[in-house]
Structure 1
Amino acid sequence: MISVIVPVYNVEEYLEECLESIQKQTYTDIEVILVNDGSTDGSKEICERYCQMDSRFKLINQENQGQSAARNNGVSVSTGEYITFVDSDDVISSKYVEILNRYMTEEIDLVECEYRAVRSVFNKLSQKENIQIVFEGNSEEAIIESCNYGLSYSPVVKLYRRNLLENFPFLNGVIFEDIYHGVGILKFIRKMVKIDYVGYHYRERSNSTMHRKFSEKNLDVFISSDKLVELFSSDKKLLPYIGKFLVQIVTTHHNYFTEKINPYQSMYEEKLKQYVAIVEESPEVARSSKMIRMYKLAPSLYLRYTFPFVYKTWGRLKHLKALVIKGE
């Protein structure tokens, strides 16, 4: 059996579409654990209705504790040999569970697929059947690939062997916990695969973690980042890759909140300096990072001016290239 765990919090607008996509899975030996995280809208009633319609659906109600607690609680009551997470405003393809399970062999602990945020693109690509393995490797190889952004650090788009999640739970009480968990869990796998199948539609919303107004809670990004450094602190080979990953995390996170973070500017600069120093313990890894090279040109200007300028210029050039290709 495969357990599908869905944390639910105030998503009545999207929840039915999400649960419908799970209910219509071609792989039917599933249990669906709905964890209502103290919703104050009609989400609980929608969950109850699906539980009445389909005996595979089970509802857990908890006071609002956040997604990590919801996922951990879902794991604790689940019974499947394998586990996958679906966010309650997202949609999965009808063959999502079937196809991920197809690649879960005796030696594999984790299978990952692709996602798309644009619904029309997802609808088209999710029909693809000539699936290829784009990555297959052991723990060390997977960590390096993840830190080079070849693998996702999101908890979704993945099928896990359950003991991974039992032994390495999500961090409770912090946001951006996926930074720590998504890379950290790779330390404990034997082998994983990534396939080029687009099986997951990720819905981008204006009130998501990376789009809401900046608050001190957003500084949790450093809690997760520092715990990841601590986890790999004794591994001299992999730690520089972790540093490289965190340089990009801090850079992009700062860029999202550029107008809001003035009171915390010095903290971002200090953390970035720490993570750059970790990368530079390996000259080879440092040379492979464009961000490190940009940072070294003008460290004091990097977050405020250098990266935003380069990022915006690169975006404009990319747009112009697209227009030239189209002949416009």
Structure 2
Amino acid sequence: MHPQPLVSVVIPCYNQEKYLKETVESVLKSSYTSFEILIVNDGSTDHSLALAQNLADQHSSICVLSFENGGVAKARNLGIQAAKGSYILPLDGDDLIHENYIEEAVKILEQKPSSKVVYCQAVKFNEQGQKPWKLKPYSRYQLARDNMIFVAALFRKSDWEKVGGFSEDMKMGREDWEFWIKMLKDGGEVYQLPFVGFYYRLTPTSKRKKTGTSQKKRERIAYLNAKHNDFFQEQLNGPLRIQRTWSKPYNTLMRWLGLL
């Protein structure tokens, strides 16, 4: 029988001792059995490292790496670099996955060599309850305007290598969006599984809140335009604008007026 390919679940962790065990347990419950878990301690100042090492002592599939704080993109890259699996699943240290997610995603990656990214439907949750995360359907045009693929998607390690990993100099948030642009701008299929397989935890200190300011947004758009001008020209007829949904009509008008 064909052996199951190894999946490396890379969990960057910065001060997430409160949630880390639950995150790891959601992976350990997977119906898919050929996986390793790499917990990357990103210079935590709480008890995350001790907790991670305790989990590794109990489960041979868990490996702990520990570094000075360098940010989530660097932590992910260090984990993926050390990963032995041909398939990668980045999972933040406070989020959860469904037990069938990895198994169903691997089936797609194995059956469809043209598929580059497999993700699923998702919910956002906290102590008060949960609500569906309404994600737009994927297309490269939509990806040019906004990100609809959360970071906890499965992809090939070889594709991560080809694009040079997550951009560690992108400190203003949404580095997963830039990573998907890099990986998908020259093509490749994206497949969304038809069930809820990912649970995104809303916390008072979540990075998404800290990086949602208008200043961060301006920095992010300038960064993306500088790095992926070719992609935005192709998809939006010009640069990504602050009012992102208006980028293409605005650029098209500016071209018609001879101002672009």
TM-score (norm 1): 0.64
Alignment-derived partner of residue 228 in structure 1: 224
Read off the aligned partner of 1:155 and give its amino acid letter: V
- Alpha carbons of 1:54 and 1:145: their partners in 2 closer, same or farther (altered >3 Å)? same
1:247-266, aligned counterparts within 5 Å? 247-248=243-244
Q: Deviations over 1:188-243 (max 9, x none)?
A: 4422212232101100111112334998xx84544432232234323533134862
Amino acid at match of 1:167: K
Taking the aligned partners of 1:163 and 1:247, their CA distance within structure 2 comes to 35
The structure with the largest helix share of the pair is: 1
Question: Is the Cα–Cα contact under 8 Å of residues 241 and 279 in structure 1 kept in the other structure?
Answer: no
CA drift at 1:148: 5.6
Q: Is the 8 A contact 1:152 1:182 kept in 2?
A: no
Paired AA for residue 164 in structure 1: D
User: Would the aligned equivalents of 1:240 and 1:280 in 2 still touch at CA under 8 Å?
Assistant: no
Q: 1:155 Cα deviation (Å)? A: 1.6
- On the 8 A contact 1:110/1:189 being kept in 2, the answer is no
Letter in 2 for 1:237: E
The one-letter amino acid of 2:178's match is: Y
Aligned match of 2:54 in 46, 49, 54?
A: 49
Q: 1-side partners of 2:151 and 2:8: how far apart?
A: 14
Deviations 1:161-209 (A, max 9, x none): 1122122221214131234223332214422212232101100111112
Q: 1:232-251 counterparts in 2 under 5 A?
A: 232-235=228-231, 236-240=233-237, 243=240, 247-248=243-244
* Match 2:115 to one of 88, 108, 125: 108
How many residues end up aligned between the 2 structures? 238
The answer to whether the 8 Å contact 1:115/1:200 transfers is yes
- Which protein is bigger by CA-based radius of gyration? 1
Unaligned ranges ≥5, structure 2: 1-5, 254-260
Which blocks of at least 5 consecutive residues in structure 1 are unaligned?
126-133, 136-140, 250-274, 284-328
Asked whether the equivalents of residues 233 and 239 of structure 1 are also in contact (C-alpha less than 8 Å), the reply is no
* Match for residue 280 of structure 1 among 240, 250, 254: 250
- TM-score normalised by length of structure 2: 0.80
Q: Secondary structure at the match of 2:192?
A: strand
Deviation string, structure 1 residues 252-299 (Cα, Å, up to 9, x no partner): xxxxxxxxxxxxxxxxxxxxxxx85x652235xxxxxxxxxxxxxxxx
Q: In the alignment, is the contact (CA less than 8 A) between 2:13 and 2:44 conserved in 1?
A: yes
**CA deviation map 1:59-114 (0-9, x unaligned):** 10000111010001111111111101111011111111111112112221111212
